[in-house]
Chain A
């Protein structure tokens, strides 16, 4: 442990907040179509895109059209990626001659990327070609993040506009998100990551002569390739000396940058950002955490600017930071404290099972909190090996709906749905018509907000329950007892909330998990997205109600405090029983010495 390194790694959080201020203001200008410093370079490119695609940038859409455009764009991207993964051997840039994915795995992976989840049932280095990684996954990283941002902007416009039927043009919001925000930042970040040692090339994997080599027990196979068994039915093994290894190569940095910035999280390699080629130094760890938090935090500022009162954005950001700091303290404390079993063996220095040394324990805990507080889901440690209460932290952050600060776009719109509910409940308690940002909150808004918030929870609980009564699904758990339940709960929480991180011992590449997981990701992404757009459409049509004496000020501390309580109550009521049976039960048995 080194205190300077710990403080440096934790400072990624305040650094993200500081950078979010100018970036959020810039984003507001971009979405309003105002000129920015990048306009001289990018405006011609933007106009070319509209001409090429036949889009009129002044053609504002109603919410239904906006939703249809969003769904069509995602559908086309999904189909293209699915075909790409299936046809991998026939496509270029496949120096390892990798075969196509099975159709179930391709289906799951394509849905996973189009929905901004990026759950990995595939293992990047051994199953995806450079072509699939670049032309498929990297593109989805950009566009799924941009889709989420566009929906958030549409909802902001719903609050900001008065008595109008339109909420903006989806194609314009999508194009501007990619061109002005995601692409320039990714380019800078990718080049910085290359300087740190993240690889970026199109070479085939390299054969290495190991300095000492390794001996390993490998199963003996008969002439037909089946494992040979002894009389007791145990597999026979033979000692094999390994003198050569293969080091994977590929265009990693370009994907790493957007995977963090777009809160996507699908790793180039199986070990994701724990792989030294994805996250090689303490500095790269700091920058990756910063990238993960940047856009969700900046969107609160964009929101404040676009509704004409930056304090409204600060109130939301304050709530987010409260949860973030709480989660970080808890995780860091539990992982430093390690477990009684390790103490008894004389092992000191925290729980390092499933963690890397480069960024220190602080760099790792900061990364894991950032990645699950957003919808990123990249990991620099194996969550399955976290201490029980340590593992409770990422799980709870995901179950809360990834709102602190949440995914690119999806975090802000889910948080705004919570704000609508908080305003409504407060209105009921003081007997006033609830208003938020000068718009009356009525039946339609409440319906849409509740759907947005509860749908993921419903999916998590029902699907986890289904897994528990399906023998083939129970067999996919890698760890026994309460921890096994945590694995399944985490899997569906992660997919329904489009996070993508995992308690990775669980064998997800089975028909059960591929199909049910794909369904969870689809429901978790598109039901809230459409509900949010419907809410945006309804709000835009409403007239502005000026604040009166009876209006609850939503840009002050009391409201932020109230919103925090509402989030806690909704989260606790929905998930406490499941969490008590998983991580909490495991902690109690561990502390009791069993």
Chain B
């Protein structure tokens, strides 16, 4: 029983230190040095309306937009309050049926040849904001046709929105779908 008193007081000490002071310090310094990132890398339109975050994907289904990866979030696709994957196993018939349907929908838009996996397989968070450059490029003809603009213009946007590494270290090449779609809206309504 001699150890009960330090157990209670230590618990109190660490709760205040690690649960109070430490997060407060990270919040204070983080808000001061990196306010945009600390608050969710949010995107506002010209009218000051909050339209999203560069890190959180959004659903797009109209032909004039780049379509993002499939999302398995509950409620509606890309529901930021319900992050999660499909959790379907690789041999689950339900996975096969869903993926076959998605491939069929893409083929119906005139896409031939191999299909990049990210375009038909759901992400882990259901909120993946990115597409592979290959998956974005496949959609260029459809978007150009739907908007009546040249394929070169759309291709230029894909190139200018492709990110890779930072600070000289490499990263996986990827296109931010929300950013490139907002850029599309910026040049043609």
Sampled A-B contacts (14; CB under 8 Å): A142-B14, A175-B10, A200-B30, A207-B50, A211-B185, A246-B81, A271-B126, A342-B121, A352-B118, A353-B121, A354-B86, A357-B131, A358-B128, A590-B90
A197 surroundings in chain B (CB, below 8 A): 37, 41, 54-55
Q: A214-B61, A360-B172 are in contact. Are A187 and B26 (CB under 8 A)?
A: yes
B65 CB → nearest A CB, Å? 6
A72 to B1, CA, bound (A): 9
In the complex, whether A228 has a CB less than 8 A from a CB of chain B is: no
Binary flags per residue of B102-145, CB closer than 8 Å to A gives 1, else 0:
01000000000111111011111111111110100000000000
Which residues of A are at the interface with B, using a C-beta cutoff of 8 A?
A: 2, 4-5, 7-8, 49, 52-55, 65, 68-69, 72-73, 75-77, 80, 123, 125-126, 134-136, 138-139, 141-143, 170-171, 174-175, 178, 183, 186-187, 190-191, 194-203, 205-216, 218, 240, 242, 245-249, 251, 253-255, 257-258, 269-271, 274-277, 280-283, 286, 338-339, 341-342, 345-360, 363, 379-382, 384-388, 478-483, 486, 503-505, 586, 589-590
B113 CB → nearest A CB, Å? 7
Most buried by A among B14, B82, B116: B14
In the bound complex, do residue B86 and residue A385 qualify as a contact, i.e. CB atoms below 8 Å apart?
yes
In the bound complex, do residue B26 and residue A251 qualify as a contact, i.e. CB atoms below 8 Å apart?
yes
In the complex, whether B95 has a CB less than 8 A from a CB of chain A is: yes
Cross-chain contact of B59 among A203, A213, A341, A381 (Cβ < 8 A): A213
In the bound complex, do residue B125 and residue A138 qualify as a contact, i.e. CB atoms below 8 Å apart?
no
In the bound complex, do residue B170 and residue A4 qualify as a contact, i.e. CB atoms below 8 Å apart?
yes
Q: A253-B26, A282-B171 are in contact. Are A353 and B90 (CB under 8 A)?
A: yes
In the bound complex, do residue B85 and residue A126 qualify as a contact, i.e. CB atoms below 8 Å apart?
no
In the complex, residue of chain A having the shortest beta-carbon distance to the beta carbon of B129: A276
A573 CB → nearest B CB, Å? 27
In the bound complex, do residue A76 and residue B60 qualify as a contact, i.e. CB atoms below 8 Å apart?
no
A136 to B15, CA, bound (A): 8
Q: A210-B58, A353-B86 are in contact. Are A143 and B14 (CB under 8 A)?
A: yes
In the bound complex, do residue A142 and residue B10 qualify as a contact, i.e. CB atoms below 8 Å apart?
no
In the bound complex, do residue B22 and residue A351 qualify as a contact, i.e. CB atoms below 8 Å apart?
no
B117 surroundings in chain A (CB, below 8 A): 338, 342, 347-352
In the bound complex, do residue B115 and residue A347 qualify as a contact, i.e. CB atoms below 8 Å apart?
yes
How many A-B residue pairs have C-beta atoms within 8 angstroms? Tell me: 398
In the bound complex, do residue B131 and residue A387 qualify as a contact, i.e. CB atoms below 8 Å apart?
no
Q: A195-B37, A357-B128 are in contact. Are A139 and B18 (CB under 8 A)?
A: yes
A214 surroundings in chain B (CB, below 8 A): 59, 61, 76-78
In the bound complex, do residue B26 and residue A190 qualify as a contact, i.e. CB atoms below 8 Å apart?
yes
In the bound complex, do residue A212 and residue B39 qualify as a contact, i.e. CB atoms below 8 Å apart?
no
Which residues of B are at the interface with A, using a C-beta cutoff of 8 A?
A: 3-11, 13-15, 17-20, 22-23, 25-27, 29-31, 33-34, 37-42, 49-62, 65, 69, 75-93, 95-96, 99-100, 103, 113-118, 120-132, 134, 164-167, 169-174, 178, 181-182, 185
In the bound complex, do residue A348 and residue B114 qualify as a contact, i.e. CB atoms below 8 Å apart?
yes
In the complex, residue of chain A having the shortest beta-carbon distance to the beta carbon of B57: A276
A382 surroundings in chain B (CB, below 8 A): 84-87, 124
A211 to B165, CA, bound (A): 27
Cross-chain contact of B127 among A142, A258, A275, A349 (Cβ < 8 A): A275
A379 to B37, CA, bound (A): 22
B58 CB → nearest A CB, Å? 6
Most buried by B among A138, A197, A379: A197
Cross-chain contact of B121 among A126, A178, A351, A481 (Cβ < 8 A): A351
In the bound complex, do residue B115 and residue A135 qualify as a contact, i.e. CB atoms below 8 Å apart?
no
Cross-chain contact of B166 among A213, A276, A283 (Cβ < 8 A): A283
A84 to B22, CA, bound (A): 19
Q: A53-B9, A253-B26, A380-B124 are in contact. Are A212 and B84 (CB under 8 A)?
A: no
In the complex, residue of chain B having the shortest beta-carbon distance to the beta carbon of A257: B26
Q: A53-B9, A352-B121, A360-B172 are in contact. Are A503 and B87 (CB under 8 A)?
A: yes
In the complex, residue of chain A having the shortest beta-carbon distance to the beta carbon of B80: A247
In the complex, residue of chain A having the shortest beta-carbon distance to the beta carbon of B36: A197
In the bound complex, do residue B26 and residue A479 qualify as a contact, i.e. CB atoms below 8 Å apart?
no
A208 surroundings in chain B (CB, below 8 A): 50-53, 80
In the complex, residue of chain A having the shortest beta-carbon distance to the beta carbon of B135: A349
B121 surroundings in chain A (CB, below 8 A): 342, 347, 351-355
In the bound complex, do residue A195 and residue B33 qualify as a contact, i.e. CB atoms below 8 Å apart?
yes
In the bound complex, do residue A171 and residue B78 qualify as a contact, i.e. CB atoms below 8 Å apart?
no
B131 surroundings in chain A (CB, below 8 A): 357
A339 surroundings in chain B (CB, below 8 A): 90-91
A286 to B167, CA, bound (A): 13
Cross-chain contact of A385 among B89, B120, B127 (Cβ < 8 A): B89
A205 surroundings in chain B (CB, below 8 A): 81
A276 to B69, CA, bound (A): 14
In the bound complex, do residue B103 and residue A194 qualify as a contact, i.e. CB atoms below 8 Å apart?
no
A355 surroundings in chain B (CB, below 8 A): 121, 123-124
In the bound complex, do residue B91 and residue A274 qualify as a contact, i.e. CB atoms below 8 Å apart?
no
A353 CB → nearest B CB, Å? 4
In the bound complex, do residue B87 and residue A345 qualify as a contact, i.e. CB atoms below 8 Å apart?
no
A257 to B11, CA, bound (A): 21
In the bound complex, do residue B78 and residue A211 qualify as a contact, i.e. CB atoms below 8 Å apart?
no
B62 surroundings in chain A (CB, below 8 A): 212
B86 CB → nearest A CB, Å? 7
In the complex, residue of chain B having the shortest beta-carbon distance to the beta carbon of A477: B89
A504 to B124, CA, bound (A): 11
In the bound complex, do residue A271 and residue B85 qualify as a contact, i.e. CB atoms below 8 Å apart?
yes
* Additional 19 contacts, C-beta under 8 A, given A198-B37, A352-B121: A8-B171, A123-B82, A139-B19, A142-B14, A191-B30, A194-B30, A200-B27, A214-B59, A214-B77, A245-B81, A247-B53, A282-B171, A347-B116, A354-B123, A357-B69, A358-B172, A386-B90, A388-B91, A586-B91
In the bound complex, do residue B9 and residue A274 qualify as a contact, i.e. CB atoms below 8 Å apart?
no
In the bound complex, do residue B113 and residue A212 qualify as a contact, i.e. CB atoms below 8 Å apart?
no
A198 surroundings in chain B (CB, below 8 A): 37
User: Which 10 pairs across A and B sit closest by C-beta, in order of nearness?
Assistant: A282-B171, A505-B87, A360-B172, A274-B124, A4-B170, A271-B83, A382-B85, A135-B19, A483-B89, A72-B7
A370 to B141, CA, bound (A): 41
In the complex, residue of chain A having the shortest beta-carbon distance to the beta carbon of B181: A211
Q: A53-B9, A80-B15 are in contact. Are A251 and B23 (CB under 8 A)?
A: yes
B43 CB → nearest A CB, Å? 9
Cross-chain contact of A199 among B38, B50, B58, B96 (Cβ < 8 A): B38
B55 surroundings in chain A (CB, below 8 A): 197, 276-277, 280
B49 CB → nearest A CB, Å? 6
A488 to B10, CA, bound (A): 37
In the complex, residue of chain B having the shortest beta-carbon distance to the beta carbon of A334: B90
In the complex, residue of chain A having the shortest beta-carbon distance to the beta carbon of B29: A191
In the bound complex, do residue A212 and residue B83 qualify as a contact, i.e. CB atoms below 8 Å apart?
no
In the bound complex, do residue B34 and residue A194 qualify as a contact, i.e. CB atoms below 8 Å apart?
yes
A257 to B32, CA, bound (A): 19
A175 to B122, CA, bound (A): 44
A203 surroundings in chain B (CB, below 8 A): 39
In the bound complex, do residue B88 and residue A384 qualify as a contact, i.e. CB atoms below 8 Å apart?
yes
In the bound complex, do residue A216 and residue B75 qualify as a contact, i.e. CB atoms below 8 Å apart?
yes
